[in-house]
Chains A and B, each alone.
Chain A
Amino acid sequence: MTLESILMTLPYITVVVLFSLGLFTVLFKKNLIKIIMGIALMQNGANLFLVSLAYRRGEYAPIFTSAESTDMVMPTAHALTLTSIVIGVATTALLLSFVIMIKRHYGSINTDDVRRCKE
């Protein structure tokens, strides 16, 4: 295995690490803010995954440059990433406002205290 192929897999290893760290946080942490941080980590992992998929060695970003259009990469994955970032902002804002309201109603943001629905 050459150094280059190791370097090429590095983004995917990072993706797996980020995604599993995020999932771990969501599943096992009790603090709601930490859960949201875990979701943000997973979001970043997914975005990094898409961006690394779209990378082609020796080709250019599809923006205003003087490169030939055949040398440019297909921007579908980039568009998907941007959309996902936009959606991430919306979901994070909504989740955080839920936490603000939960803090006001329950006086706590620990998941152990936030379980009135079960009764």
Chain B
Amino acid sequence: MSFDIMLHTPTFILAMPLLFAFLTILVSKFSKKFGEMTFLLGLLLTGFFVFLMSYRIFTDGGWIYTFGAEEVTTRNFFRITFIADGFAALATITIAITAIAAGIYSFGYLEKEMSSDKFYTLFLLTLGGVNGMVLTGDLFNLFVWFEVTSVASCALVAYENYRGRSVEAALKYMVLSTVGGLVVLFSIGLLYGQYGVLNYALLSGSISRTFLDKLALALLLVIFAMKASSVPMHMWAPDAYGEAPGPATPFIAITSLGSLFVLFRLLFGVFGVGIDTAAIGAILVILGVLSMFVGVTMALVQNDLKRLIAYLSVSQMGYMMMAVGVGLATLNTVEYQNFGELAMKGGLFHMINDGVYKALLFLSAVAVIHKTDLRSLNDLGGLAHKMPYTTMFFLVGALSIAGIPPMSGFSSKLLIYQSVYLYNPILAVIALVVSIITFAIMGKVFFNAFLGPDQGLTDGEVSNVMLSGMAILTAVVILFTLFPNLVVSEIVTPAIEALTGGVLP
């Protein structure tokens, strides 16, 4: 068989960040400039391979990549496998867009930092970890990439270690992640002890509703919901998002989103046939509603710009969990055709939307903080005079997160309202109310920080490099705004088919 680079793209998506993470250390010893170039090259290559993989998936369908085998087509379930299907494409596209934008942004942000090579290394390691987490096809690797992501992203949170608060936030996050990782390991042991396999496809065939299966499912659900900052376990999120160094903030949020992707993969792909889908779906819906409501209520009283967006991000996570929960609850019933599929569409579309506009909000908030050194909404004001571009970018993100027509956030939320209403009208009402409160909060922030008389807090716009990072995200948001149908039909629908159709054999 001839060598087909397209089939090898999943491995490059993982190998490029890791390889360039360590190349950056080496090159930075000779020249800082070349170190930055290496970092950028690694990011762009990763993005390029994500594009190639997604293109192949959308045209020819998915495939399984088996490491160390004679040929890609060899099936050996005791080897390490990667799943390249529509869902993996959706996840990696979201991750790659955010990573490239935040990476370019960080060049401008880190100008005054002494040693930035470690930041780049940790950034690429986190990228590799999240990519591995969403691509992997067995529980063993899931655990490894889970821990790589935890360690790298915690070190990233503590990067500005001259501030005590960032170390404190990182410690909290790290303790939770480590305990979470051990619980994941424990539940992997429970499954392995019963069935002797770790591969998703093999496991999904053998799961049989024993007590130990239910225990493992409950533990995995709790831990990945915790990493996805769902409400009863969300306490680490505002600290970690609030204290992470600027350009890394959207990326910490992306690790949460990655955990949510993994949770959905586990629920549909591994446990899908073996569980009471209605009950688990209802649990997801409850977690989602709690996250939406508590997140937005906490955001209402926040005064710190970054923490406020962090709580809003918790609340947005709730939308996805609720929508996909409705999809899971109605799976394999008549109702799935009626509204379940629509709910899945809304939920997954909201995921890719949310990854992008949340990153945009975080980056523009960080630009404000970077320029003024102020974080409190009480101190900020009148920034629109000196920072017109940042204001514009923030406005795009704010309108999108609040779900104002015709922004991209509205298209996905509309799908969610429509479908969830048929499942239970109260859910749709709550979702609408939360959306309105989000709009009110964003309005307050915008008026407080950007409008009003010029208070002389800043001497001008942030650097062009930082602006271009935000411009990329804005362009993507506007693209999603203009062509929501295209995104749903070309990216989201294959992802849903991959998710509900079970793991590839």
Asked if A and B touch directly (CB within 8 angstroms), the answer is yes
Enumerate chain A interface residues (CB-CB to B < 8 A): 19, 23, 26, 32, 35, 39, 42-43, 45-46, 49-50, 53, 74, 76-77, 79-80, 83-84, 87, 90-91, 94-95, 98-99, 101-102, 105-106, 114-117
B182 pairs with A76, CB closer than 8 A = no
Enumerate chain B interface residues (CB-CB to A < 8 A): 78, 140, 143-144, 147, 150-151, 154-155, 158, 161, 163-165, 167-172, 174-175, 178-179, 181-182, 185-186, 188-189, 192-193, 196, 198, 239, 242-243
A72 to B454, alpha carbons, bound, how many Å?
76
Given A42-B179, A83-B144, A117:B171 Cβ within 8 A: no
B158 pairs with A84, CB closer than 8 A = no
A35 pairs with B161, CB closer than 8 A = no
A115 to B235, alpha carbons, bound, how many Å?
13
Given A76-B192, A77-B192, A80-B188, A114:B168 Cβ within 8 A: yes
> Which residues of B are found within 8 Å of A42, using beta-carbon distances?
179, 182
CB-nearest residue of chain B to A114 = B168
Mostly, the A contact residues are helix
> Which residues of B are found within 8 Å of A105, using beta-carbon distances?
163-164, 167
A79 to B186, alpha carbons, bound, how many Å?
15
Given A50-B185, A80-B188, A84-B185, A98:B179 Cβ within 8 A: no
Given A53-B192, A74-B196, A91-B178, A46:B185 Cβ within 8 A: yes
B151 pairs with A90, CB closer than 8 A = yes
A79 to B185, alpha carbons, bound, how many Å?
13
5 contacts between A and B (CB under 8 A): A43-B182, A80-B143, A80-B185, A94-B155, A117-B242
> Which residues of A are found within 8 Å of B78, using beta-carbon distances?
76
> Which residues of A are found within 8 Å of B193, using beta-carbon distances?
53
A101 pairs with B167, CB closer than 8 A = yes
B151 pairs with A91, CB closer than 8 A = yes
> Which residues of A are found within 8 Å of B143, using beta-carbon distances?
80, 83-84
> Which residues of A are found within 8 Å of B169, using beta-carbon distances?
117
A99 pairs with B164, CB closer than 8 A = no
A102 pairs with B192, CB closer than 8 A = no
A48 to B161, alpha carbons, bound, how many Å?
35
CB-nearest residue of chain B to A116 = B165
> Which residues of A are found within 8 Å of B196, using beta-carbon distances?
74
A117 to B375, alpha carbons, bound, how many Å?
13
CB-nearest residue of chain A to B175 = A35
Select B158's contact among A101, A106, A115, A116, beta carbons within 8 Å. A101
Number of A-B contacts defined by CB within 8 Å: 97
Mostly, the B contact residues are helix
CB-nearest residue of chain A to B163 = A105
> Which residues of B are found within 8 Å of A101, using beta-carbon distances?
158, 161, 164, 167
A95 pairs with B189, CB closer than 8 A = no
Given A74-B196, A116-B164, A94:B182 Cβ within 8 A: no
In the A-B complex, the 7 residue pairs with the smallest Cβ-Cβ separation, listed nearest first, are A105-B164, A98-B171, A53-B193, A117-B239, A87-B147, A101-B167, A46-B185
> Which residues of A are found within 8 Å of B140, using beta-carbon distances?
76, 79-80, 83
CB-nearest residue of chain A to B170 = A98
Given A76-B78, A94-B155, A101-B158, A19:B186 Cβ within 8 A: yes
A84 to B151, alpha carbons, bound, how many Å?
13
A95 pairs with B192, CB closer than 8 A = no
> Which residues of B are found within 8 Å of A114, using beta-carbon distances?
168, 171
A90 to B140, alpha carbons, bound, how many Å?
18
A101 to B170, alpha carbons, bound, how many Å?
11
A46 to B219, alpha carbons, bound, how many Å?
14
A117 to B188, alpha carbons, bound, how many Å?
34
> Which residues of A are found within 8 Å of B167, using beta-carbon distances?
98, 101-102, 105
Least Cβ–Cβ distance between A56 and chain B, in angstroms: 11
> Which residues of A are found within 8 Å of B174, using beta-carbon distances?
91, 94-95, 98
> Which residues of B are found within 8 Å of A77, using beta-carbon distances?
189, 192
A39 pairs with B179, CB closer than 8 A = yes
CB-nearest residue of chain A to B196 = A74
Least Cβ–Cβ distance between B147 and chain A, in angstroms: 5
A32 to B171, alpha carbons, bound, how many Å?
10
> Which residues of A are found within 8 Å of B154, using beta-carbon distances?
94
A117 pairs with B175, CB closer than 8 A = no
> Which residues of A are found within 8 Å of B181, using beta-carbon distances?
87, 91
A95 pairs with B171, CB closer than 8 A = yes
Q: A45-B182, A46-B182 are in contact. List 15 more A-B contacts (CB 8 A).
A: A23-B179, A26-B179, A39-B175, A76-B140, A76-B192, A76-B198, A83-B144, A87-B181, A91-B181, A98-B158, A98-B167, A98-B174, A101-B161, A101-B164, A114-B168
A9 to B198, alpha carbons, bound, how many Å?
23
> Which residues of A are found within 8 Å of B168, using beta-carbon distances?
102, 106, 114-117
> Which residues of B are found within 8 Å of A49, using beta-carbon distances?
186, 189
> Which residues of A are found within 8 Å of B147, using beta-carbon distances?
87, 90-91
A98 to B186, alpha carbons, bound, how many Å?
26
A53 to B179, alpha carbons, bound, how many Å?
21
> Which residues of B are found within 8 Å of A80, using beta-carbon distances?
140, 143, 185, 188-189, 192
> Which residues of B are found within 8 Å of A53, using beta-carbon distances?
189, 192-193
Select A102's contact among B151, B171, B239, beta carbons within 8 Å. B171
